[in-house]
Amino acid sequence: MPSVELVGVTKRFGRKTALDNVSLRVEDGEYAVVLGPTGAGKTTLLRIVAGVLKPDAGEVRIGEAVVNDIPPDERGVALFFQNFALFPHMTVLDNVAYGPRMRGLPEQDCIRIAREMLDLVHLLERANSMPHELSGGMQQRVALARALATGANLLLLDEPLSQLDARIGEELRYELRRFVKDLGLTAIHVTNDVDEAMAVADKIVVLKRGSVIQVGSPEEVYLKPKTPFVASFVGEATVFEAIVRAVDSERVRVEAMGVEIMAYAQGFSGGDLVVAAIRPESIRLLREAEPALANRLEVTVERISFIGGMLRVECGVVGTDLKLLSLVPDEENVELAEGEKLFASFSPEEVSIYPYPSEGLFRELSLE
Amino acid sequence: MASLSGLLDKATRSALARKAFNFTVLAFFFGFVLIPSLWVFPHTLTRLDQMYTQVIAKPEVLSEAVTSLIRSVEIALAVVVIDVAVGVPVAWILVRRKFMGKEFLDTLLDLPVTMPTSALGFSIYLFWATPRKLSMADLLGLKTGFLSEGPLLVLALHAVFCLPYVVRSVIGMVSELDPTYEYAARTLGAPSFTTFRTVSLPSIVPGIVSGAILAFTRSVSETGATMIVAGWYETAPVYIKRMCDVNPDAASLVTISLIATSLVLVFALSALSAYWRVPIVRVLPSLERWLSTAKASAVRDFVILAFLAVVVFAPTFYIAVAPLQAPPQAQAQRPDSTEFGWDAFAETLVNSLLIASGATAVGLLLGLPLAMYISRRLSGRLKVLLDTLVNVSVIVPTSALAYSLYLFWGDAPGGLGLFEKGLALVVVVHMVLTFPYVVRPILSALEGLDPVYEEAALTLGAKPYTVFRTVVLPLIRPAILAGVVLSFTRSFSETGATVIASGAQVRTTVPVLIVGWVKQAQKLGDQVALYNASIACALLLGLSYAMLVAFRLVMGRVK
């Protein structure tokens, strides 16, 4: 069971830098998820660990040994592909037996291992089918069986659920994690789906434009986003520009589009241009009579949508262009209507204040 | 232009006009291309008794005919083996490796196809079979040619002009391979060579098969260049050429057998390839691991490139040094004939270029609608049938095709008697033989084009012709251009069919003129003809290269 470490890994394709001085460590037996928008360099990172791509600079270590010059077939890693990459000209059994055969095991052992693995993913009865005869979910399980049959203990998963129907993907993500944990593997799983990352990860690595932005447990990344990008991408926070108007020992008062907001923050001074972020579930929507928290803004409800037991409410602060997003429990006594006037209220602890990003807020939040 | 489009729009909406148009296109394909190409079959059926008395009953005639057929098939099979063995690694190198001059090498590889085969044949003949300056014999310090006319020289020639078909066809498949399958195999523990054998190779088999089929049919049909290098080793097309005046029934028999053999072998090959399996296990693990090392792969690349340099490029380009040889002294009986035969060269070159352009234009005009008809109007078995018939007209060896067309149009018994052997028949032959080369790529492009674009245009209010003009045409433009280039070069370089259709006339196309000069030189020792041929071939080499570069520029701009 190996740990994996990347030290200062850089990879360029022509003039485009896919990975820029990336360092990260995945512990033995850990299920790490690399999370980032499309084009962040996630697949490149995985392929470099697998050895099918060579980094331009930096070191890759698997279990403390530097493996830069070791070809992929000798690294003992299993790479799992977005499109599963099941060999179309081989049966399911031949696909799964491919790894053991490449290790030169006796033929009957290869078949035995392949059948065991197919049994593990409940597909033994489809052993003689061709890959195209299987459904997407079955293909995914065959690909998993094939990866596991090599005996590799480092599993690299490249958007393993993205080709599946949403519901099937949700079931299989837990199955995937269970396999990894039951077999005691180390896994690096790459995805752009925040929910998927939150659901399966021991550790999340947020990657953006080839750089690691934040590493931490799902809770850490969600509750303490390091940058406005993480707050917006992972937490769906409302993110906006503001100017610091007043500071005291532990709090600041900022102004955004004529609205004043109190926040706990240190290290800023009056007149600073900053970015403020508020997560949707920390914004409460109140009728006038109810007692409010320190921040209280008059808003108009603009759009309501239902998502699994919650109401997602977009509202505009009255008299300004400032928009807020709020998630409130969908309870019987909450009857909201579009166009209704309410108060949005949130405590100063729930407002994160960040220094203004050097590349501008638009580019900071952009997914490209 | 707008009014013409309007008119065509109206016409395409009228069911009657559409039917009439489709009928014309189909009538051209069947009546002008397919049936005349295979006319030798019904022709022979009406003359079975003559066939018996003139050929079957004469053992020496029959054995000569059968021998020529066996030779052609032997050569073609050997060529397929050599060209697949060389062509697959060459294609792999051209797609996957990065090196200086790759583009240049890529262009040069098409030269043996673009160049008239007789010019290529003459260049190869001079390089291998004469002791001239810088030839193989000269380089090795021999006094006579390194090879003499015969099977080895025929093989050296055919392997060269068939190689590009294999390389192009395999390159098409290799560049479309999804690398994730290779990554999968590598991370599952396969070294790079094993990955190639078990994963990449099975995926490119269709490309290898279609390349092998083209190489096979090109080899069995080549006449002009083969006549230059064959000597006593008469292959089937050369035999047809010689016999079509002396003993037409013997020529018919060989023509029929050649077409039948080609069709049977080609369909057998494509059927068998579906069952062909590469073993998945590591056959010889230690050998495969060694073959996967960087050193072994560098050695492999070097051997392949060295083969290209010595066997393909040196003999092909040898003709470029021909003008370095001193012109022959004026001969006593022909004091004025040391000058290069500009008149004949210019006249036939103009003919060649006009015929190639004309045949291509006709092919495009009728081939594009035919491809549209097959791809968009037909379905099921009828579609498969027509698609196969288009392939059949590629497979029919060109020399057999020319003879068949002569029997159909010409003054042979049972023919229409419209054309004698000569320039007019040459034009007809070229129209027929280039036609499938225009249709084939367009048809493939149409099959690969998702019909949703056309459906979208129709629902947006475009009339059928406008849909074709504004949506289909721009999307298949690269394929149309590819078809035009293939058809033009095929016509420009074709020697065998033209030689047969020309009969005794020498001044038809430029490859025929060259064959005439070379035969004159070989038979009569005419040094002036030899000199003329070498200058003409050198000029054609330059012209072919210029054409290739021009095509590349145009194609590059389209993509």
Q: By residue range, what is the domain housing residue B245?
A: 60-320
Q: Is B9 exposed, middle or buried (0-12, 13-18, 19+ CB in 10 A)?
A: middle
Residues A36 and A175 in one domain: yes
pLDDT exceeds 60 at position B353: yes
Specify the pLDDT at position A289.
61
Mean pLDDT in residue range A244-270: 88
Q: Is A49 exposed, middle or buried (0-12, 13-18, 19+ CB in 10 A)?
A: buried
- Residues 136-155 of chain A with CB under 8 A from chain B are 146-147, 150, 152
Residues A276 and A312 in one domain: yes
Q: Which of A52, A98, A147 sits opposite B280 (nearest CB)?
A: A98
Mean pLDDT in residue range A67-89: 87
pLDDT exceeds 80 at position B22: yes
The two beta strands, A31-35 and A203-208, are parallel
- A296: confidence class by pLDDT, cuts 50, 70, 90: confident
Residues A215 and A236 in one domain: no
Mean pLDDT in residue range B79-107: 90
- Domain end, chosen from A193, A214, A230, is at A230
Q: Tokens at residue A221, please? A: 């990344």
Looking at the 3D structure of chain B, how many domains does it have? 2
d(CA B242, CA B247): 9
- Domain end, chosen from A195, A230, A265, is at A230
In this structure, what are the phi and psi dihedrals at residue A251, rounded to the nearest 5 degrees?
-125, 160
Query: Could you report the per-residue pLDDT of B463-481, keeping only the tens digit for each?
Result: 778 888 888 888 888 889 8
Residues B70 and B26 in one domain: no
Mean pLDDT lowest among A202-206, B11-15, B417-421, B555-559? B555-559
Sheet holding A295-307, edge to edge: A284-286, A341-346, A295-307, A310-317, A323-329
Question: How many CB atoms within 10 Å of residue A363?
Answer: 12
Specify the pLDDT at position B330.
47
- A190: confidence class by pLDDT, cuts 50, 70, 90: very high
Q: How far apart are the CA of A76 and the nearest CA of chain B, in angstroms? A: 7
Sequence-separated contacts (24+) of A178-181 with Cβ below 8 Å:
A179/A120, A179/A144, A179/A148, A180/A31, A180/A155, A181/A31
Q: Which of A77, A81, A147 sits opposite B180 (nearest CB)?
A: A81
Residues A201 and A238 in one domain: no
User: Counting runs of H as helices and runs of E as strands, what totals does chain B give?
Assistant: 31, 0
Residues A48 and A88 in one domain: yes
Q: Which of B545, B82, B101, B99 is nearest to B316 (CA)?
A: B545
CA dihedral A124, A126, A131, A132 (to 10 degrees): -150
Mean pLDDT in residue range B338-365: 86
Percent of chain B with pLDDT over 70: 96
Please, what's the b/e burial string for A321-331 (b: 16 or more CB within 10 A of its CB; e: otherwise)?
ebebbbbbeee
Specify the pLDDT at position A164.
80
B190 and chain A in contact, CB less than 8 A: yes
Specify the pLDDT at position B329.
57
pLDDT exceeds 60 at position B356: yes
* SS3 category, B358: helix
Residues B143 and B98 in one domain: yes
The mean predicted confidence, pLDDT, of chain A is 89
Query: Could you report the per-residue pLDDT of A305-345, keeping only the tens digit for each?
Result: 888 788 889 999 988 888 899 988 877 666 788 888 888 88
The CATH code of the domain that includes A195 is 3.40.50.300
d(CA B95, CA B370): 33
- Residues in chain A with CB shorter than 8 Å from the CB of B194 are 102
- Residues in chain B with CB shorter than 8 Å from the CB of A52 are 182-183, 186-187
A11 and chain B in contact, CB less than 8 A: no
CA dihedral A132, A136, A141, A147 (to 10 degrees): 70
Percent of chain A with pLDDT over 70: 98
Instruction: Note whether residue B93 is domain-resident.
Output: yes
pTM, entire model: 0.81
The mean predicted confidence, pLDDT, of chain B is 85
The CATH code of the domain that includes B386 is 1.10.3720.10
Looking at the 3D structure of chain A, how many domains does it have? 2
Mean pLDDT in residue range B428-439: 92
Instruction: Note whether residue B450 is domain-resident.
Output: yes
A50 and chain B in contact, CB less than 8 A: yes
Mean pLDDT in residue range B222-241: 87
- Domain end, chosen from A230, A263, A290, is at A230
- Residues in chain B with CB shorter than 8 Å from the CB of A73 are 186-191
Block residue for tokens 């006037």: A341
Query: Could you report the per-residue pLDDT of A152-189, keeping only the tens digit for each?
Result: 889 999 988 888 888 888 888 888 899 899 889 999 99
* SS3 category, A360: coil
Specify the pLDDT at position B414.
73
Residues A189 and A129 in one domain: yes
- Domain end, chosen from B287, B320, B353, is at B320
B291 and chain A in contact, CB less than 8 A: no
A102 and chain B in contact, CB less than 8 A: yes
Mean pLDDT in residue range A247-270: 88
Instruction: Note whether residue B556 is domain-resident.
Output: no
Residues B312 and B347 in one domain: no
Residues A9 and A84 in one domain: yes
Residues A220 and A239 in one domain: no
User: What is the DSSP annotation of B273-290?
Assistant: HHH-----S-SSHHHHHH
DSSP state of A321: S
* SS3 category, A213: strand
Residues B176 and B311 in one domain: yes
Specify the pLDDT at position B558.
59
Q: Which of A72, A107, A147 sits opposite B186 (nearest CB)?
A: A72
Residue of chain B with shortest Cα separation from A89: B202
Phi/psi-derived region of residue B205, left when phi > 0, alpha when psi is between -120 and 50, beta in every other case: alpha
Residues A18 and A138 in one domain: yes
Mean pLDDT lowest among B362-366, B388-392, B413-417, B519-523? B413-417
d(CA B88, CA B163): 10
- Residues in chain A with CB shorter than 8 Å from the CB of B180 are 81-83, 85
Residues B27 and B134 in one domain: no
Q: Which of A74, A79, A101 sits opposite B282 (nearest CB)?
A: A101
User: Under a CB-based contact definition with an 8 Å cutoff, are residues A284 and A345 in contact?
Assistant: yes
Mean pLDDT in residue range B307-319: 90
A101 and chain B in contact, CB less than 8 A: yes
A94 and chain B in contact, CB less than 8 A: yes
Specify the pLDDT at position B559.
52
Residues A107 and A183 in one domain: yes
Distance of CA B465 to the CA centre of its chain: 33
Residue of chain A with shortest Cα separation from B179: A85
Cβ of A81 within 8 Å of Cβ of B184? The answer is: yes
Residues A213 and A235 in one domain: no
Residues B260 and B111 in one domain: yes
A277 bridge partner residues:
A239, A352
pLDDT exceeds 60 at position B143: yes
Residues A12 and A147 in one domain: yes
Specify the pLDDT at position A128.
94
Mean pLDDT in residue range A184-197: 93
Q: Tokens at residue B39, please? A: 């006319």
Q: How far apart are the CA of B197 and the nearest CA of chain A, in angstroms? A: 12
User: Under a CB-based contact definition with an 8 Å cutoff, are residues B189 and A73 in contact?
Assistant: yes
* Rounded-to-5 percentages of helix, strand, coil across chain B: 80, 0, 20
What ipTM score was computed for the predicted complex, to two decimals?
0.77
Cβ of B190 within 8 Å of Cβ of A73? The answer is: yes
A99 and chain B in contact, CB less than 8 A: yes
Residues B29 and B131 in one domain: no
Residues B391 and B276 in one domain: no
Residues B222 and B290 in one domain: yes
A49 and chain B in contact, CB less than 8 A: no
User: Under a CB-based contact definition with an 8 Å cutoff, are residues A237 and A251 in contact?
Assistant: no
Residues B310 and B416 in one domain: no
Cβ of B281 within 8 Å of Cβ of A103? The answer is: no
Residues B104 and B167 in one domain: yes
Q: Length of chain A in residues, anyone?
A: 368
User: Under a CB-based contact definition with an 8 Å cutoff, are residues B210 and B308 in contact?
Assistant: no
Instruction: Note whether residue B29 is domain-resident.
Output: yes
Q: By residue range, what is the domain housing residue A272?
A: 231-365
Specify the pLDDT at position B335.
43
Residues B82 and B207 in one domain: yes
Q: How far is CA B89 from CA A54, A157, B343, B447, in A?
A: 24, 33, 44, 29
Residue of chain B with shortest Cα separation from A155: B187
The CATH code of the domain that includes A288 is 2.40.50.100
Q: Which amino acid is at A170?
A: E
Q: Which of A51, A104, A146 sits opposite B188 (nearest CB)?
A: A146
Specify the pLDDT at position B213.
87
d(CA A326, CA A316): 11
Mean pLDDT in residue range A50-77: 89
Q: Tokens at residue B231, please? A: 């000597």
pLDDT exceeds 90 at position A10: yes
